[in-house]
A and B are shown apart, each in its own frame.
Chain A
């Protein structure tokens, strides 16, 4: 979420589901298959369109279900979002349709942005994106005429080599329209997993302590050293996508993994496996023997959401409880207890807590935005950060009247082609995503009877035109290969994807889509480019 920090000073969803669902006059959805990946929000948007005639612009190469309801469905080529957004902004500026007052009072960098987007007249944007120029103009008009408008995006924006710039571009558009700091507006990244937001807020990142306090800032270092009673490093750490290759080089010797399955979720899975196997010592703490856990030297049984007390933070920054409903099976233990025990046995007593409530007390002390989010106050409705103290009611909408960083920053960005383009040998663009019935690496949904029954097998979506040319029929097994690996799956001949593009969900270990994807990283966000690579498709 580095893009939003640069633009606004805070890297989270700016608005809340309620105001977005009830007050937006137009939705601009880009890189989010909302009804399948964030279904309840998808339902609410569907109702907004049906019941109060909100306008809906869907920008997605695939004919995703929510596009059925769209006022305008833009099918840009995968990896061309910046060109599209710059094209729309070109129209807004050239026709004087942007919010001049907002731009003058609340932002900086407008002249740079203007100079950049002037290089993207709709005709040029059309050429890059494959979208008719008239649609780009129409999108600009819909946005200008219907305010406030809410922009929503998900991994379809971030999982690109230009992920950071893609996000900046989204922020630019919403500032230009004056859609910031108002109900029904905002830039709203939808988090794929239920506690991505919380894991980031809690400092599960190599560059920041809890509450996004930079490890390189001396005052922060001092504060945490004092609280934890040990000297701390001021050197920014490595991301997962950096750690793995270093494991293969022998520079990373040990990994301690809690509840993640990089064997399936990481790009270039064959390489990821090689890296994990190179470690001296791998500890995995999880509730199932995942593909990653199967490689571990020690596997520690953790607890599921139904077995423990704690809090999750949803996409709209709301901290809510999970409660113990059933006992954990066998000897399984809460993850916080396991961590504390290991620390204790290594001679550090500062992680020995009696309960999650005690941990939250410490979070309240050390994390300014969580200062008032105590167990006594969370209650039935949760609390949305920032909530700095025990008298604060929480914050539903960020950046009202003022951005966290002061003025909103326009960051002019250029479109760049994806790291790997199609060629004669690998003529298809391969993109990945999720389906309604499964979740992430499938470790939970593949073990749910109903969900696995209704969507039991990996499929690869292919357009009818391509299928006919390759003489592939619906349901036929095909082999898909990239420069990095090969998998097999059933073909789903469908109008969902455009000719030249194939799509595959990544939930299935037996045909792990990430064996094909490329580990090229967005140099700033360090997010791999899972959304685009080049493949070939053959009959088996």
Chain B
């Protein structure tokens, strides 16, 4: 049994688990505390100071994401002091952030935009120099827009705590701080495996997949849960879909085999679905040595059925073989072996499992 402690948050009595942070306890109780650098899949670092809360008998404010619950503490998430500090932290971040939400990919799914909206912050209170960086488009999977980076380090922590290759870090110091590879080179020359988990957890549009750009807003996209078509780990994720086209992949954090994690193939390898070379029509070779020509389903299916019947009749069922498929569903494989056994009459059915 895990130990519980009693606390109150905004006057509400809560039983929290010992070891939880105030933020976790609040979230579990349905109380929302604004947060930015924190992500539930990562260890908290208390960097952005957006989640500051007021704790009775504590002089200073504390980040809710790193503060562990203790018996009897009384937390005020919306005290004037906390709200003011939070607004200050947000204004500071926004003072060095392009306000081009109109064309930004993350409009509607940006955590910074949501907070600016909630706090009604229109423009920066700290006019001054803003960073100017060129968009980094050097890798084939995602773009990095340093101007939109809020240095929350979610990506860095992801690369360390999820993938584990530690390809990126905060490089340089102070004003020049930015996220990069060891020698500020391109990702391809780093240990990066392009799993895309950093892109998944980035709260802004600083990291953005190349596929699906300018094709759909967050609220236009439907998320359909599915299982990866590639390896046998069987990761689950959502396909983001709009108007019959896939625009991207989103993590499904409750997925049993992968807990939200993906690799490069699962995250960026789905675009074959819309490839122009997809077969869209049955094809028939009307004479041996001739070309494959388009045909209707009836013609193709009748031809197949008639030829199959003739071969079984002339040469017996053992002259026939079928291949089921390690890429098809269970239902399709069941149907295929049943076809071989019940319709043709042979156990000559196999698939490429051995390979």
For A449, list chain B residues within 8 Å (CB).
140, 211, 271
Contact indicator A204/B280 (Cβ below 8 Å): no
Binary per-residue interface labels of chain A (94-109) against chain B in the complex, 1 for a CB within 8 Å, 0 otherwise:
0000000000000000
Contact indicator A342/B305 (Cβ below 8 Å): yes
Contact indicator B354/A158 (Cβ below 8 Å): yes
Known: A308-B329, A325-B224. A299 touches B292 (CB 8 A): yes
Contact indicator A326/B311 (Cβ below 8 Å): no
Interface residues of chain B: helix, strand, loop or mixed (majority):
mixed
Binary per-residue interface labels of chain B (330-355) against chain A in the complex, 1 for a CB within 8 Å, 0 otherwise:
11111111111111011111111111
Shortest CB distance B348–A (Å): 4
Output the nearest chain A residue to B354 by Cβ-Cβ distance: A527
* Candidates A210, A281, A301, A333; contact of B311 at CB < 8 Å: A281
Known: A254-B311, A359-B331, A454-B194. A439 touches B231 (CB 8 A): yes
For B254, list chain A residues within 8 Å (CB).
380-381
Binary per-residue interface labels of chain B (290-324) against chain A in the complex, 1 for a CB within 8 Å, 0 otherwise:
00100001001111111111010011011111111
Q: Within 8 Å of chain B (Cβ to Cβ): is A306? A: yes
Output the nearest chain B residue to A46 by Cβ-Cβ distance: B164
* Candidates B161, B210, B280, B341; contact of A330 at CB < 8 Å: B280
A443 to B275, CA, bound (A): 11
For A200, list chain B residues within 8 Å (CB).
351, 353
A82 to B342, CA, bound (A): 41
A528 to B4, CA, bound (A): 58
Contact indicator A289/B349 (Cβ below 8 Å): no
* Candidates B161, B231, B236; contact of A192 at CB < 8 Å: B231
For B332, list chain A residues within 8 Å (CB).
258, 310, 334-336, 339
Contact indicator A233/B235 (Cβ below 8 Å): no
* Candidates B244, B273, B314, B317; contact of A233 at CB < 8 Å: B317
Output the nearest chain A residue to B287 by Cβ-Cβ distance: A297
A47 to B161, CA, bound (A): 7
Q: Within 8 Å of chain A (Cβ to Cβ): is B279? A: yes
Q: Within 8 Å of chain A (Cβ to Cβ): is B126? A: no
Chain-A contact segment, one of B49-57, B169-177, B262-270: B262-270
For B270, list chain A residues within 8 Å (CB).
306, 448
Q: Within 8 Å of chain B (Cβ to Cβ): is A390? A: no
Output the nearest chain B residue to A311 by Cβ-Cβ distance: B330
Q: Within 8 Å of chain A (Cβ to Cβ): is B42? A: no
Known: A255-B321, A351-B339. A298 touches B329 (CB 8 A): no
Size range of the interface on B? 35 or more
Contact indicator B297/A198 (Cβ below 8 Å): no
Contact indicator B331/A336 (Cβ below 8 Å): yes
Q: Within 8 Å of chain B (Cβ to Cβ): is A332? A: yes
- Chain A 335-350 residues near chain B, CB threshold 8 A: 335-336, 338-343, 345-346, 348, 350
Shortest CB distance B55–A (Å): 30
Q: Within 8 Å of chain B (Cβ to Cβ): is A259? A: yes
A44 to B228, CA, bound (A): 17
Contact indicator A326/B246 (Cβ below 8 Å): yes
Binary per-residue interface labels of chain A (430-456) against chain B in the complex, 1 for a CB within 8 Å, 0 otherwise:
000000110110011101111101100
A251 to B158, CA, bound (A): 56
For B327, list chain A residues within 8 Å (CB).
193-195, 259-260, 440
For B319, list chain A residues within 8 Å (CB).
251-254
For B334, list chain A residues within 8 Å (CB).
202-203, 210, 359, 362-363
